[in-house]
Amino acid sequence: MAKKALITGITGQDGYYLAEFLHEKGYEIYGLVRRSSQNIEQRLGKLSEYVHVEHGDLTDSLSLRDILGRVQPDEIYNLAAQSHVAWSFKTPESTFDITGAGCLRLLEAMRQTSPHSRFYQASSSEMFGQVQEVPQTEKTPFHPRSPYGVAKVAAYWATVNYREGYNLFTCNGILFNHESERRGEEFVTRKISIGVARIKLGLQDKLLLGNLEAKRDWGYAPEYVRAMWLMLQQNEPDDYVIATGETHSVREFCEIAFAHVGLDYRDFVVEDPQFYRPAEVNLLIGDATKARQKLGWKPETTFRQLVERMVEADLENQKRLLRNSGETPRPR
């Protein structure tokens, strides 16, 4: 019989790639979708052909208990979150409710109605915040610098607590930034790749960004969802850092992205304080040795390949939009 997986956050970047990955492995997939989701059909795309959509919300325990009780999934992947760090400063309470308490609600629903399930929590390098050591490992102390980071720390410990307290199979994947052609448009990498494409086609003159010196450990999302699955296939539940082990600044991302289309980022990027955060995470770089040794996981895509792939995809998207609108491009 096919294994069943429930994915929360199925309409997000990772939800898409994870569903695709599990489908190829023969899983029956259930995806949690909330009422306020926008453009569901477009975001699910070809997933609609095989994903069973379950309506519910991480802020609503009753819906979670109902779904888990009926579906009895073998594996639960909790990818849902208010995941935008800058936005979390504007909506700290609802961010905590979804990103922190939401994980607790799902764990408790699992304990009560489906305790045999294996549980993956989408933990984040943002928990390291003001980093206490370089590079960051599973043992590095947390020092979150945003309401989002604080909520993720609460969810991390709830996941550990349900493992230790109730002997449930629960894992934290501490994933460093991972990007793709499906990355949300408000995150910096995608904002840059769309900006580069529009500037190249003469649709935009400037790209306004915040802190260009922040450094991140950026990997390719489709490779990261495989690590989530691997964690749930082990004999014992555990926590793992997933990262490339390289760090690059936002400025370097811009430099490569603009150069790929023959432009110099200094002619187009404007640093605008409206995009600064009340507290910044200046440097992230992960050490994924444990994942390599125990899960046999390692990243494949290089930083340059990632940047160029995103720019190419957005050039195609923007050209298609232009064709559909009937406008004439004025490429630089």
Query: Could you say which of 20, 66, 108, 280 contacts ligand GDD (CB under 6 A)?
Result: 280
Query: Could you say which of 124, 136, 172, 180 contacts ligand GDD (CB under 6 A)?
Result: 124
Q: How far is the CB of 81 from ligand NAP (least distance, A)?
A: 3
Distance CA(169)–CA(95), nearest Å, equals 26
75, 126, 179, 181: which one is catalytic? 126
Distance CA(31)–CA(321), nearest Å, equals 29
Interface residues with ligand NAP (CB under 6 A) are: 8-9, 11-15, 32, 34, 36-37, 57-59, 79-83, 98, 122, 124, 175, 177-178, 184
Distance CA(15)–CA(36), nearest Å, equals 17
Contacted by 127, from ligand NAP, ligand GDD, none: CB < 5 to 8 Å by type: none
Phi, psi at 277, each rounded to 5°: -105, 155
Q: Can residue 307 be called a binding residue for ligand GDD (CB under 6 A)?
A: no
- Nearest CB to ligand NAP, comparing residues 48 and 167: 48
What would the DSSP string read from start to end of 154-214?
A: HHHHHHHHHHHHH--EEEEEEEPPEE-TTS-TTSHHHHHHHHHHHHHTTS-S-EEES-SS-
Contacted by 7, from ligand GDD, ligand NAP, none: CB < 5 to 8 Å by type: none
Q: The tokens 């390692």 sit on which residue?
A: 298
Contacted by 82, from ligand GDD, ligand NAP, none: CB < 5 to 8 Å by type: ligand NAP
Contacted by 214, from ligand GDD, ligand NAP, none: CB < 5 to 8 Å by type: ligand GDD
Q: Can residue 250 be called a binding residue for ligand GDD (CB under 6 A)?
A: yes
Strand-pair partners of 7: 31, 77
Closest of 164, 72, 88 to residue 124, by C-alpha: 88
The catalytic residues are: 124, 126, 148
